[in-house]
Amino acid sequence: MALSKHIKMPNASEEKAMKSLTARKITRGLTSLIIGLPLVFTHFASAQTYVPAQFGNTLNYIEQTITMPELTADQPVVAVYCQADVDANGITSNAVCFEKEGFDSLRDQTTEAVNGRQFTPAQVDNKKVPVRMQFRVIYAKLDGQPPIMLLPNLGYMQSKYGHDYTDPQERLDQPQWYELYKRNDWAEGLPFFSREENMTRVLAMIDENGKVISARRLEAQKTNKRDVVEVEKVVKKSSFIPGFSRGKAERMQYVAVLHYRAE
């Protein structure tokens, strides 16, 4: 999915994709991919194998605990975007979620539901490792579609890989870009997305081996140019579980985001 320096999250392309998703009502083939048998995620490179973190039984828990929003023909789909740390035992923490349409209660319920849950941990060479995972929870009122779906991505690459690919996951047993950024005594940016307009965004490209091969700014206000320079630098020091599509590691985009509280 093309990204521009004026991208907003969720961006215009993401909104268009979600509207297309609604119009098509998600084909049964896509639905079977999402809720059917799990894919095998394994990539061999330089004597290493990679398996990303997965949701475990979290979908069942969300279905049992979340109060579905009041969806209409004009608003049949709501997407909640989330980020959570998944430790080596698969337990989630530091979950933060974002929703742009004003469904604050749904956002808060989703955050609570995914925090402290038992996911399936990521692995490198059959060793469990902690990661930071980004994902979407889709709530929908559409014929022939499950009312709730978990997608292991934020949607940037869905025009290329479909809806069920897995975003790159930052390894937390290696240097982490946000923690490196926060070492600066002037650092005020907070991680992940917000409704605040003032944001810093850096687009990184992660290769099939989880290596950062490039990082460039997408957006930064004049007052945050120091931040974007630092984020570009520290993202390059991070390591990732590579992104996967249909069980195969692929070169994919990752967006590092800071937002700032309104004064």
Domain boundaries, the chain: 12-165, 177-259
* Cα distance between residue 162 and residue 171, in whole Å: 24
User: Angle CA(181)–CA(240)–CA(189) in degrees, nearest 5?
Assistant: 25
Is the separation of the CB atoms in 256 and 202 below 8 Å? yes
pLDDT of residue 41: 58
pLDDT digits (tens, 9 = 90+) for 90-104: 999 999 999 999 999
pLDDT for the residue numbered 197: 79
Predicted pLDDT of residue 108: 97
| 117 CA to centre of own chain | 17
Handedness of CA 194, 52, 230, 6 (dihedral sign): negative
Classify domain 177-259 at the CATH topology level: TolA/TonB C-terminal domain (3.30.2420)
pLDDT at residue 211 in the model: 97
Whole-model pTM: value is 0.84
Query: Residues in the chain with pLDDT < 50?
Result: 1-8, 12-38, 47
For the packed helices 58-65 and 104-114, what is the interaxial angle rounded to 10 degrees?
A: 140
What is the C-alpha separation between 207 and 107, in angstroms, rounded? 32
pLDDT in tens, 154-188: 999 999 999 999 999 999 999 999 999 999 999 99
* pLDDT value of residue 236: 97
